[in-house]
Amino acid sequence: MKTLNLKLYFLTVLLASFFLRASGQDTDAMYAHFIDVGQGQAILLEFPKGAVLIDAGGQKDMKEKLLFFLGQFFARRTDLNRTLNGVIITHQHVDHDQGLKDIAGRYKVLNYVDNGHHDPHGSGKMQPWMEQHVGELHINYEAITYDKVTAGHNLQGLTNGNIDPVTGSPVDPLITVYSGAFLPGEVSDMKENNHSLVVKVMYGRASFLFMGDLETSGIEKVTDYYKNTPKVLKADILQVGHHGAKNAMTKDWVKAVRPKYAIINCGQWNWGVNADSTAQKFTTYAYGHPNKKAIDLLENNMTDNRPQPIKVMIGISGTDPHDPTVKPVFKQATITKNIFATAWNGNINIKATPDGQYAVISDR
């Protein structure tokens, strides 16, 4: 017990120092909080003068975990007056939008951006709800399409006051969208995941790229469009698409981004396993996340190593949609590169300074 208490003490001290915002210390840093919401995604970007939330999802039993994290955040950042400068939802799926209504009810949201989809049969019900209520909530709203982003063969992405609502001095963050909802025929696979917004955040020399649940078809489209402007997709921190699924990554994408760190938002590998090892639908276990194919692409093409390798469970295969008796297969793997996952690490908090230096701290 003494050892445990000592560990908890040092963790508390470390967290306190990491988030310290006292005058003259770390006041010029930004933080990206990859919140552990299980099989889903919610990322809070914390700046000296504001905050932006990218996705507000999670697995069905973890919405309260997101709300608790935000509550603790605003209790610490009282200067923000319970206000989110922006909320960006990458696409209309429940594991990315389920917390929207609760967040809009508890906090002031100034700007809201999504891909404009409001399919009544889609799994995400809160994105359409938000679109319908932005007027009465006095929220500035913009739907982002691929055509809008690339109008006039624009290769610099799209940014404006809705997308990039945070200012700062001496460092002014830059938030830019590089892909949005496609029109029929613009991409070979029209699944909702491929309509994910691709968002890049620059903070001085620090850089982050968020790709929602973009899959192979969308990845190839975006990679090809920006192939002659390689610096556009380059980012030090990559949010790995589609929770690390086998279709979440391509070799060309990893080479274009050249990440120093890769972060995967996903649930515990055995969430959804039945007693007979079959899988419950729409769970981490059923999907086989994160998948060996995506992990191998990152391991083989990233250059920055972890201080110490770790052993984790990764998916070899998920369920067969045509045969529910087929059981997912997972195996233990050794991670040597700077790859982190909420399933392995809990909440992942990345501090970024304007000169492009990073510090990562996680729950475990």
Quick: pLDDT tens for 25-81. Answer: 467 999 999 999 999 999 999 999 999 999 999 998 899 999 999 999 999 999 999
Residue 9: per-residue pLDDT: 37
Do 338 and 261 contact (CB within 8 A), yes or no? yes
Q: Is the pLDDT of residue 195 over 60?
A: yes
Q: Which amino acid is at 317?
A: S
- For residue 90, how many C-alpha atoms fall within 13 Å in the half-sphere facing its CB? 31
Q: Is the pLDDT of residue 339 over 60?
A: yes
Domain boundaries defined on the chain:
31-362
Residue 25: per-residue pLDDT: 43
* CB within 8 Å of 311: residues ≥ 6 apart: 332, 333, 334, 335
Proportion of the chain above pLDDT 70, given as a percent:
93
Helix (H) / strand (E) containing 17: helix 2-19
* pLDDT tens readout for residues 17-27: 555 443 334 67
- Eight-class DSSP state of 327: P
Average pLDDT score over residue span 345-362: 97
Residue 320: pLDDT band (50, 70, 90) is confident
- Backbone φ and ψ for 130, nearest 5 degrees, come out as -65, -45
Q: Is the pLDDT of residue 351 over 50?
A: yes
As a whole number of angstroms, the distance between CA 73 and CA 174 comes to 22
DSSP per position, 222-277: HHHHTTT-TTTT--SEEE-GGGG-TTS--HHHHHHH--SEEEE----TTTTB-TTS
Proportion of the chain above pLDDT 90, given as a percent:
88
Residue 230: pLDDT band (50, 70, 90) is confident
How many C-beta neighbours within 10 Å does residue 139 have?
20
Mean pLDDT of the chain: 93
What are the beta bridge partners of residue 339? 262
Average pLDDT score over residue span 118-123: 89
> Alpha-carbon Rg of the chain, whole angstroms?
20
From the list 306, 202, 318, 190, the residue with the least C-alpha distance to 266 is: 318
As a whole number of angstroms, the distance between CA 123 and CA 104 comes to 19
Reduced to 3 DSSP states, what percent helix, strand and coil does the chain have, rounded to the nearest 5? 30, 25, 45
Q: What token pair was written down for 249? A: 């990554």
Residue 237: per-residue pLDDT: 99
* pLDDT tens readout for residues 145-181: 999 999 999 999 999 999 999 999 899 999 999 999 9
Do 96 and 57 contact (CB within 8 A), yes or no? yes
Q: Is the pLDDT of residue 228 over 90?
A: yes
Examine residue 170 and say whether the peptide bond preceding it is cis (omega within 30 degrees of 0).
yes
Do 279 and 285 contact (CB within 8 A), yes or no? yes
Q: Is the pLDDT of residue 259 over 70?
A: yes
Residue 27: per-residue pLDDT: 78
Q: Which amino acid is at 54?
A: I
- Eight-class DSSP state of 195: G
Angle at 159 between CA 154 and CA 160, to 5 degrees: 130
As a whole number of angstroms, the distance between CA 216 and CA 288 comes to 17
As a whole number of angstroms, the distance between CA 145 and CA 149 comes to 6
Residue 26: per-residue pLDDT: 64
Do 100 and 89 contact (CB within 8 A), yes or no? yes
- Eight-class DSSP state of 78: G
CATH fold for domain 31-362: Metallo-beta-lactamase; Chain A (3.60.15)
As a whole number of angstroms, the distance between CA 324 and CA 53 comes to 36
